[in-house]
Structure 1
């Protein structure tokens, strides 16, 4: 019998399929039948280096419902600014080093959750995920990734929605991850995660993106290995009609170009010419009556039209609600007295 108690949740690839199934099944059961106060007396410290609506709210509510308590800290705002790099002379704005902050929080709390986006200057540095890695290094308590260069909590919410609407028979279904326009370059975390979790559950992944917007090879390779292991396949294309044709699930997300990473003024000229990647009704008509979803927040009539977002096949609110169900299950599994 596997045991995930006190296990870090950094990357779904670090968890076995059986462990992920356990959390998803527990989430589905809690949604149907309710839950017990399995983390009574436990405290979760949440470090938000970046803004949040759904992540902060869902974790705070989940801890409260399970009988625990969540503390939200925003370094540089309501908590001291934190230095991440080791061996540096701290003569800048940061008042506290991550080593001290993490060690102290580990003594106060039962787990630490972290949201820290890339700096969008150098991808070789950003892909190291240094903030999260350093906190994991110094924490004596389990660490949960609330989005860095991956978003494993969003993966759980997405897969819970997929399992529900395909009656847990999502294998071989065509999952379209489509790039969409956004006026700003965005984090690739959700796209990276969608590629990993869809293939982990045997879906046929198609990634639609303009030239120059391919995901990092690391995540394509992971998705490809998942596909081999779980019976799916991976296709990357810039052909809109081909990508949408026969799709069973359309997942929209915008992300910045790795080719122009850190050179965003140059990248913007390319991105501004790709507004036709918007998810609209004409494209959805090419699908197999596909479901549509997005992690939110979503810019209406930029990423997807009102007609698509508000359609009966749109699962945006269900996926968002699933953040609460899956995080409640995750916290119960990691911290629960009977999890």
Structure 2
């Protein structure tokens, strides 16, 4: 875009911290430090003056909404998740907010997305606010907050913890689900997942194949279907369940996918669990509202929320890297699974 076009675009959307950084010849993290008042001893006066001059020339002002949120002595933590529409994250947020409140913090939920381009937008959001800590669910990009946030912890919801502070082991969850179904005599087990790039769902796909192999069960690619988040029906699943050699059990990567199996089964006159067993992952409230109630692997949202706050505040207030915390999951057996017959 030429300079005239850039000026027109800036007038339409208002100047951002990125514009200030470009004009001053510094990084966005430097701009954030200046406007958060955390530049003392970290940025030389000449650089600070350059940032302020560029901001003044562009008419940039720090987003006032962030300061409005910081009432009294309460400080802010950001919880960045792949999909804020998933009710599981609402439960995590509730628990995290309660734990944070006891320590004088509030928690803000940020929809980080699962597209690599969302990382830059998240950093832009962080630059426009003042946060004292960031919790981010592992993604294909998993940005580091750099100078934007004093303390950052990553949640690894996948196969390996890596450098994460909190680990939700996909292999353990999927292994317990497959072990339960195998113990009931099921050998043709399918998987219904989300068609998303988010690390948790890629990890659960890999863990599914590994768990089948551990139980000497065959993997059939025809039995593996992925649907978009928010899908209300699956024609592919209906076609699969109508086949002569259909799976006798389905593992859903998320409890939200289980209604698709129930619906497809009902359309075909199949009954859950006598004709098809169903297992979910998450143990959200929906699992207990279904008929029959859903067997699922519980990822305790209350413990996850409290653990995330503990980890980020330990880093924020202690300065060092917190020890790895692994979340213990467990299968909750309800009425959606039965022995194969």
State TM-score, norm by structure 2.
0.39
Larger radius of gyration: 2
Q: Which structure would you say has the larger RCO, counting Cα contacts within 8 Å and 6 or more residues apart?
A: 1
